Amino acid sequence: MTLEDMKKLFETRQSCRKYNPDRIPDSQTLKEITEMSMMSPSACNSQPWKVYVTNVPEKVRGLSKSVQPFGANKFADKCTAFAVITETAACASEKIGVKYTKRDFISNDLGILCAHYVLAAKSADIDSCILGLFEEKAVKAVLDIPEDLKVRLVITLGYAAEDDKIRDKVRKDLGDTCEFILQ
């Protein structure tokens, strides 16, 4: 894979808010991208996560409802699969690291995992949207997620509708977000 290939992947991965409700990602592909995302790095290689993945229509319908608090995320009614990112216990050395540095390594780990997930999905043509807005209790109830796990992020998955075009990226000026100190 070249830098150009990666650039194209980054440009075409976009938060999908218009899914084709008739196309469901197949189970094998979902398994493969999920396994790929497990290669994501984490502090002390702690991997403080468990990812729940479903394309079962009844579960998908339940999750779609659970990610629409205050009428948000209505587009989720048409996605056809979900990945739910839960936080599990960090390993002892990550916990020590968090305590002494007072840095939130675990949120970093989970964010990086999500980035790996959505890019792996896009490489298989599966569109996605990371959601921070959801009803945790409802998500847990749909998937029987144990009490002690915290749902940190939810990812809608599916295939974009035919007329959902690739948008230009809206990003701050590079001068505001990057500082190059290069020779």
Q: Residues in the site for ligand FMN, rule: CB under 6 A?
A: 14-15, 17, 73, 129-133, 153, 169
Between 14 and 54, whose beta carbon lies closer to ligand FMN?
14
Place of tokens 């991965």: 13
Write the CB contacts of 64 (distance below 8 Å, at least 6 apart in sequence). 76, 77, 79
Kindly state the smallest distance separating residue 127's Cβ from ligand FMN, in Å. Answer: 10
Number of neighbouring beta carbons within 10 Å of residue 19: 24
Kindly state the smallest distance separating residue 79's Cβ from ligand FMN, in Å. Answer: 11
From CA 113, how far away is CA 119, in angstroms rounded? 10
Between 17 and 59, whose beta carbon lies closer to ligand FMN?
17
Give how far Cα 94 sits from Cα of 89, 97, 152, 176, Å: 10, 5, 18, 32
Between 38 and 133, whose beta carbon lies closer to ligand FMN?
133
Between 91 and 138, whose beta carbon lies closer to ligand FMN?
138
From CA 61, how far away is CA 55, in angstroms rounded? 10
Kindly state the smallest distance separating residue 114's Cβ from ligand FMN, in Å. Answer: 7
| Closest residue by Cα to residue 122 from 39, 36, 55 | 36
From CA 131, how far away is CA 39, in angstroms rounded? 22
Between 99 and 169, whose beta carbon lies closer to ligand FMN?
169
Kindly state the smallest distance separating residue 181's Cβ from ligand FMN, in Å. Answer: 27
Helix, coil or strand: residue 51: strand
Kindly state the smallest distance separating residue 110's Cβ from ligand FMN, in Å. Answer: 9
- What are the φ/ψ torsions at residue 93 (nearest 5 degrees)? -70, -35
Kindly state the smallest distance separating residue 172's Cβ from ligand FMN, in Å. Answer: 11
Place of tokens 């699969």: 81
Between 27 and 107, whose beta carbon lies closer to ligand FMN?
107
Q: Which residue is nearest to ligand FMN (CB)?
A: 132
